[in-house]
Amino acid sequence: MKKILLCALAVFSLSLTSCNNQKDPEKVAQDFVEALQKSDAENMAKLMYGYEEASEENREEGIKRLQEKISSLDQDEKEFLENMTIEDINVKEEEERAKVTLKYQDAEETLRLRKENGKWVIEDF
């Protein structure tokens, strides 16, 4: 899953900032996972680093690329997404960083969050 979604993250990281109002990294991670499970690229993008500051054109292009990546997932990756749960949250508020581990059976993914302008955003996954 990392290989497939990494390109999409790069698109957003260069030109996008979150517009979410969440203060809790767990809630941001849950919202991101729910959007991912629903293949909702637009709501995923809104929770990612760089969204708010991006031009409309860059937002649309990033969302389009993210949708393409999501639709190209194989069956195992889709099953992982449908069944993943948040198992572990490690928040280091003094560093304004958080790491959320997602687990399903023997597979594991990590979301990295950071605080930006007082809001938690997805920095890396």
| pLDDT the model gives residue 28 | 92
The per-residue pLDDT for 75 is 92
Name residues whose C-beta falls within 8 Å of residue 7's C-beta, 6 or more positions apart in sequence. Answer: 65, 69
List the Cα angle 14/19/24 in 5-degree steps: 105
Query: What would the pLDDT profile of 72-110 be if each residue is shown by its tens digit?
Result: 999 988 888 888 887 777 777 667 888 888 877 777 888
pLDDT in tens, 39-64: 999 999 999 988 888 899 999 998 99
Rounded CA gap, 8 and 2, in Å? 10
